[in-house]
Every structure is written in structure tokens, then in C-alpha cells.
Structure 1
Amino acid sequence: MKTLHSFHRPLGTTGLTVSPLGLGTVKIGRNQGVKYPSGFELPDDSQVRDLLALARDAGINLLDTAPAYGTSEERLGPLLSGQRQEWILCSKVGEEFDNGESRFDFSAAHTRRSVERSLQRLHTDYLDLVLVHSDGNDLTVLEDEVYPALQQLKQEGLIRGYGFSGKTVEGGIRALETGDCAMVTWNLREQAERPVLDYAQAHGKGILVKKALASGHICLEGEDPLTAGFELVFSHPAVTSAIIGTINPVHLRQNVETVARILEKK
């Protein structure tokens, strides 16, 4: 099996080196209110442990989680015991998910509480990366207290880098002016955020791609949708890593093989 070990790359100027694929973990903690083509059962601990081992062996070192991902953080903490140095841990602030609904809080107090809670849940004393989970009002969110609070947490060593997972070009660019990276939607169906990628490329900032396969919908289309999808994702030189949210070992292997094949040609 091809692996991604030789394709790790720097995430902007954070000093973090990440794999070109990251494993998104919403599906290990939450199956309500998610936008996938079909429903799914949450995997048990042994299935998650096997998935993490497979990801690690395949050269994936980036794990993406969030308080809004149900029990994802609480489950990952014990399962990653003894492996902290092998993973780049990315979590979020701003969004909480309770009783099937999201609510948002971008205050400094909530930002600090959220990060401290993530540290506890993940059994670690630092997070490599924290992203703001925007509610869609990107510029308003960035005028709130959340970015200065994350800057302070970075100075204290509780987080190594921070950025923004938004929904608009204006928000993505504004977020990159002072933050370390942005998470953008960039796939065969949606390319409106391309100017954010262009800005990141010009200013040496990191880009993480969400919905690289349109939450699984692209896999339902075309002759070889996986290759076409990832070729588009990695066609832009600003892209550092694409987050894929699979809990299926076969899909994970296919994703790794496809991306390794694409990057070998570059």
C-alpha cells in the first residue's frame, strides 16, 4: 500500500509539519445533524483504535476534532494514550452542539474555557492547532474577542497555532491576515473560496480543505470521482492538507492511495 509519509509538508509558518490528508473525526462522536449522503452508526472503541492505527501506518498525522463533534474529543483522549507525539491535534472553538442543535459563543471567556476543556478531554497539555468554527457571519465573528483570545493562548503555549474555518472569501482573507491558517471549502462542486487560497499562497499561510469530496457526495458521481476530486484539491499549491471524515477503513486506504499517486506526479 502506498503511504503519505514522504509527502508531509509545513503548515504555513506554524512550525507544524502535517500529512496531506487529515482524518476528520466527527463520525466517531456524532451522527445527528450531519450532512452525509447516508446515515451511519458510531463505531465502537476497537473500531476507532484500528482506524487510528491504519491512519498512522498510512502516514496520516493530522487529526481534526471539535467540541461540536459530539463525543469525539472525549473518545480520542483515552484512545491516543501514549501517542501524543505522533499526532498533530486540531480542535475548534466557537460552536457547541447540544440536543441536536448548534449554538455559538465567540467571547474570550468561552474561548479559553473551550480550549481548556479540549485539553482535558484529549488528555494533553497543548493543542497543535485551534480553529474558530464560524457561524457563517465571518467578519462579525472576527471582530469579536475570539482571535485575540487565541493569540493570548498561543503566547501562553496552550496552543501552537490558530486559524479560522469560515464560509466566505472576505472572512477567510481577513482571518489569514493575523491567523496562521484557514480551513476552506474547495471541491469539484464549490470553488468560490479560491481567492482565499491565492491569498494564502502569496503570504505563506496554511490551508486546510474541508468537504474535499463534498461530504461524500462526490463519491457518488462520475467515472473516477475520487481521483478527479483530489486532483482538483491539490491542483492549488496553497493546499497543505485535506480533511477526510471517513470511518470506513477501505475508503481511508483508497483516499491515501489516490492522494499518494497524485502527489507522486507533482
Structure 2
Amino acid sequence: MLKQNPIGQTGINVSALGLGTVKLGRDQGVKYPSSFTIPDDKAAASLISQAKDLGINLIDTAPAYGNSEERLGTLLKGQRNDWVICSKVGEEFRNGDSFFDFTPEHTRFSVERSLLYLNTDHIDLLLVHSDGNDIDIINRYGILDVLADLKQEGLIRGFGMSTKTVEGGLLAAEKSDCVMVTYNLNHLEEEPVIDYCLQNDKGVLLKKALASGHIAVDSDNSDPVQASMDFIFAHPGVSSAIVGTINPKHLQNNVDNAISALSRLS
């Protein structure tokens, strides 16, 4: 089974792999190497059940993932306590286009809407979905302070930011419980953020650990997924890596490779 790691001092433990759900709700404007069909409810429920059986307890969603949150509200009915739900604020997706709103008013509205869609009274981890202007978002809108207030109110258990710059990642880590960064064999630039989080007891979630599937397609490595898992889990600051597959065989393979990588480190 997959090991679990703590998210800072939140009391939340997450599996080393998390299940990303953009492909459950959105197939437009995504950057995967091949097209895909959004799975129906039966296939989606089967995938979620498989993930749980494999030891995954972290599920990642966002308002920007189409109707992912709404679908999860139904798909996770009766099993809320089995999952750590991570959602986001800041990015919206409507009529095929993304746009951003980081104002305090929209942030609170977005969280309340996510609670409704997800059919829950709290969200475990809530991240700011950055547009790339990390520092400006934090300083101009005070958005992490808004999330701290929502945590005090009990609507969220932990919070942070999905960042795109080293400077933004470091500031977000300083002001919150966790960060989500890009880290893979082809993208090492944000490693200083992971180093900081390790030294300061902050959680780290990885996005694009397999470069949105491109590593498996473009790599010259004979086993690029295993090489990727070996690489990302070699850093002790990594709490969990989000994998967004909707292919049951790929999900099984990802978990097997993660367990193999982690077993060699123990």
C-alpha cells in the first residue's frame, strides 16, 4: 500500500500519490499529449474505487476543472471520510475559456460554492490557483489571509497555493500550510521551494510529476514512469504527487512504480 505523509502541522495525512480529476470534468484547453473522452459515471466511480483500493486517499479537483467538483459530490457520496479533498480558488472555467478572480469576495463565494458542489461541510486542503503572478496575487489581494480566516471558521482544514514561480512558492509556503509546485525530470526550477518546505514543516503537493503525460511519450528512458517516480520521491520534502490518469492500467502502474520507488528509499 502507498505510504502516507503529513501536510505540515494540519493533522492531515495524504497518500504519496493523489488522484487528479481534471479529466472527469474538462476536455477543452488541456495540454495532454493525446485527446481523451470524459468517463461516464460508472467508469469514474470504478476509477475512484480502484484508487481507494490501491491506498490513495487524496483527490484533487478545482472550479477550473469543468464540472469535476459537481461530479465528485455525487461520486464520493457515502465515502467522504475516506478522502482528503483538495480544491482551489482563483481560476474559473466557463464556455471553453479560463479567467481569474482573486478578490476576497470571489474567494469566499468560490469556497462556499465548492462546499455545495462537493456535498461536504469542509474542504481538507484549499489552494489558490495562480495565473503565474504569484507575488502580486498574495500581496495585492491578501488571498492567503482570506483563506486563513476560512480555516478559522472551519470551512477548510488547511490551505496554500498552487504556484508557478520560485519566489511565489517561497512566500506562499511562509504564509500557509502547503504549496503545489511543478517538479519532474524536465522541470527542476522549483526545487528550492520543496527544500524550504522540508526545512519548515510545510506540505508539498506536486503537479505535472509526469509532465502531463509527456514524459511517458517523449522520454528516451526505457521506463520513464519508474524513472520519474524514483526522481520525485527521492526528495524527502515531497508529500504527494498528483496523477491525473483516467486509465485503470495507468493508475495501477503509477501506484506500482511509486511503491517501488518508495521501497528503495526506506
Query: One fold, TM greater than 0.5?
Result: yes
SS of equivalent residue, structure 1 residue 239: coil
CA deviation after TM superposition for structure 1 residue 8, in Å: 1.0
Q: How many residues align?
A: 262
TM-score relative to the length of structure 1: 0.97
Counterpart for residue 247 of structure 1:
246
Counterpart for residue 138 of structure 2:
142
Counterpart for residue 92 of structure 2:
96
1:230 aligns with 2:218: no
158, 175, 180: which one aligns with 1:178: 175
* Matches of 2:206 and 2:146, distance apart in 1: 24
80, 94, 98: which one aligns with 1:84: 80
128, 133, 138: which one aligns with 1:132: 128
* Matches of 1:190 and 1:264, distance apart in 2: 24
Counterpart for residue 68 of structure 1:
64
* Matches of 1:30 and 1:258, distance apart in 2: 27
CA deviation after TM superposition for structure 1 residue 215, in Å: 0.2
SS of equivalent residue, structure 2 residue 180: strand
Counterpart for residue 199 of structure 1:
196
Query: Which ranges in structure 2 are unaligned for 5 or more consecutive residues?
Result: none
* Matches of 1:102 and 1:235, distance apart in 2: 34
* Matches of 2:188 and 2:9, distance apart in 1: 25
Identity %: 58
87, 111, 117: which one aligns with 1:115: 111
- Which deviations, in whole Å up to 9, do the C-alpha atoms of 1:170-204 show, x marking residues without a partner? 00000011100000000011000011011101101
* Matches of 2:74 and 2:214, distance apart in 1: 32
Counterpart for residue 213 of structure 1:
210
Structure 2 letter corresponding to 1:219: A
Q: CA RMSD in A?
A: 0.6
Structure 2 letter corresponding to 1:142: I
Counterpart for residue 164 of structure 2:
167
- Which deviations, in whole Å up to 9, do the C-alpha atoms of 1:121-144 show, x marking residues without a partner? 000000000000000001001111
CA deviation after TM superposition for structure 1 residue 219, in Å: 0.7
* Matches of 2:67 and 2:175, distance apart in 1: 31
TM-score relative to the length of structure 2: 0.97
- Which deviations, in whole Å up to 9, do the C-alpha atoms of 1:10-29 show, x marking residues without a partner? 11111101100000000000
CA deviation after TM superposition for structure 1 residue 145, in Å: 2.9
SS of equivalent residue, structure 1 residue 252: helix
* Matches of 1:186 and 1:132, distance apart in 2: 18
* Matches of 2:107 and 2:87, distance apart in 1: 12
Structure 2 letter corresponding to 1:129: L
SS of equivalent residue, structure 2 residue 188: coil
